[in-house]
Amino acid sequence: MALTREQVEQYNRDGYLTPIRVMSAAEARRFRDRMEASEAKVGGPLQGNYRHKTHLLYTWADELVHHPAVIDAVESVLGPDILCWNTNLFAKEASSAGFISWHQDSTYWGLDPSDVITAWVALSPSNPKSGCMRVIPGTHTVDQLPHVDTFHKDNLLSRGQEIAVDVDLAKAVDIVLEPGEMSLHHIKIVHGSEPNRANDRRIGLAIRYIPTYVRQLKVRDSALLVRGVDRYHHFDYEERPKADADTAALAAHKDAMDRQVRALYQGTDKTAFRA
């Protein structure tokens, strides 16, 4: 499932690549069913910290971040030694107001250098009606843009951060995905998304991968080695869940999230992710 040289060149030029089929629609449906079973157990959509580093809590998310077809494509860009640094579950409910302002992921993550890739795996249809991700091609090569924190209640980002300068929306491209397809995007590409106006949920798991040489500049952070070897030891190692949200998984997740909250909310008075 490695990418072709043309695909890698396209990613390096545009800052994204899509669509890439990594599993059948039926397999994606099984992942969705397991995710929704996890929701049923907590009595509703996964909220707050459960939406982040979800792979340390649930076996279905752990299997997704280790999915060979996903990692094969990522390896084509990042090389053979790969850490999973984070996951973010983006479930936009049918006909709901949640949106994502235009932003660069690099703004608060503290990772250096910017060799950071997101594999966005669709578990339901993601298209303009359901509020799919939109990107501005080529913007991964510009410098870090200034952002402002809005903490807007319907913004699904941690700080409601948005780019403080005008974005050329005429250049925006819709990332249309069917269940079982994924896109790849660079940590610096300008992207955002609109609310879900469809009658199904829009569910995707954003998996953040880094090569082992990347550093976290803000805190002593943790990550999970998913392929190759780590000769750098810039991150403490995380524990994979053996059962869904059991005592050990909850403890491992809490430890990792405490570090992440310190990094992402540095300079604000926030001490936990918003629900």
Written as one letter, the residue type at 146 is P
Minimum gap (Å) between residue 172 Cβ and Ni ion:
14
Minimum gap (Å) between residue 239 Cβ and Ni ion:
26
Q: Looking at beta carbons only, is 75 or 105 nearer to Ni ion?
A: 105
Residue 170: closest CA among 219, 126, 123, 137 = 137
CA distances from 21 to 12, 27, 41 (A): 19, 11, 30
Number of residues that bind Ni ion (CB under 5 A): 1
Residue 173 zone, left/alpha/beta (φ > 0; ψ -120 to 50; rest)? beta
Helices and strands, counts by H and E, the chain: 6, 15
Contact between 162 and Ni ion per CB under 5 A: no
Minimum gap (Å) between residue 191 Cβ and Ni ion:
6
User: Which range, of 1-9, 51-59, 99-107, 209-217, touches Ni ion by CB under 5 A?
Assistant: 99-107
Q: How far apart are CA 256 and CA 252, in angstroms?
A: 6
User: Which range, of 62-70, 102-110, 238-246, 257-265, touches Ni ion by CB under 5 A?
Assistant: 102-110
Q: How far apart are CA 49 and CA 61, in angstroms?
A: 14
Minimum gap (Å) between residue 111 Cβ and Ni ion:
13
Q: Looking at beta carbons only, is 62 or 105 nearer to Ni ion?
A: 105
Contact between 105 and Ni ion per CB under 5 A: yes
CA triplet 6, 12, 14: central angle to 5 degrees? 95
Minimum gap (Å) between residue 6 Cβ and Ni ion:
26
Contact between 149 and Ni ion per CB under 5 A: no
Report the residue number whose CB is nearest to Ni ion: 105
User: Which range, of 10-18, 98-106, 225-233, 264-272, touches Ni ion by CB under 5 A?
Assistant: 98-106
Enumerate residues 6+ apart whose C-beta is below 8 A from 125: 177, 178, 179, 198, 200, 202
Can you give the binding site for Ni ion, defined by CB under 5 A?
A: 105
